[in-house]
Structure 1
């Protein structure tokens, strides 16, 4: 929480805009590293007994779902040029030719700010292309 407050203070002091983003169904984006089988859900009836299915993607309620999502997001964001803060792993930074872009994330919620407005727009477009992203607009209040 200290990092969030600090970034909010810097953004206010430097008059940076702050954008809120949310990844819809984030845990469904994760890739499974182990083979997992499950019973078919109710309503799926092919007339056979004891049919199971092999999962190709993560599902909510899987114990590995949150980790699979984090690994997917983290790998993606590092490929876009961001580096993870050593003081707070939920903060990622990208130095650009025109300034800096700061990304704060918690599970599937993100706040993006910085001095490089084009960099922020580029990040948002990259996230849109990779995930089911909802832009929630500029930050007007924050509960934390």
Structure 2
């Protein structure tokens, strides 16, 4: 899906912005009762046997990724975005005479659109619900370096850094 969307960006000269959600898995709401041992140094004298009941998701829980996705999906659909049937981490919305596409990869997002004002509105909406880091024009995603020449209408992907890291 990412290559398809990037080809649409290159062919139509669209804006390509990137966002990162800080501590994404902590936003998930738990649907079942989960208890954990008290963290080291947290227990009071004489109360070491007590456990903590979790009400929010934590990193390391098997449920954390799913609960984060459910929270994000509800937010996007609640704001009028449609989820793509072919890829449930792709959302789109028709705005004015154009559209916005959002691709979600765990806690990284690519936002595509022709209207920068609409993209900025989406960024504000997301920031009001989740703590976000606006990375501006997309330069790298999923280990792929993005190089763009808007005059030539080209967009190139390189995984050279990722390959070097793996080797």
On whether the aligned pair clears a TM of 0.5, the verdict is: yes
1:34 corresponds to: 32
Unaligned runs of 5+ residues in structure 2 are: 145-158, 160-167
* CA offsets 1:19-40 (integer angstroms, 9 cap, x no match): 0111011000100001111110
Q: Is the 8 A contact 2:98 2:113 kept in 1?
A: yes
1:53 corresponds to: 52
The structure 1 segments of at least 4 consecutive aligned residues displaced by more than 3 Å after TM superposition are none
Q: Which has the larger radius of gyration?
A: 2
Correspondence 1:72 to 2:71: yes
Distance in structure 1 (CA, Å) of the matches to 2:99 and 2:82: 12
Alpha-carbon distance, 1:91 to partner:
1.2
Give the alignment's TM-score, normalised by structure 2: 0.81
Q: Tell me which of 7, 10, 20 is aligned to 1:9.
A: 7
Write the mapping of 1:1-144 to structure 2, written as runs, cut at 5 A.
3-47=1-45, 48-142=47-141, 143=144
Point out the structure with the larger strand share.
2
C-alpha RMSD of the superposition = 1.3
Alpha-carbon distance, 1:141 to partner:
4.2
Give the alignment's TM-score, normalised by structure 1: 0.93
Report the number of matched residues.
142
Alpha-carbon distance, 1:8 to partner:
0.8
Q: Is the 8 A contact 1:98 1:116 kept in 2?
A: no
- With CA pairs under 8 Å and 6+ residues apart, which has the higher RCO, 1 or 2? 1
- Comparing 67-76 and 113-122, the one that deviates more: 113-122
Q: Is the 8 A contact 1:16 1:113 kept in 2?
A: yes
Distance in structure 2 (CA, Å) of the matches to 1:118 and 1:49: 54
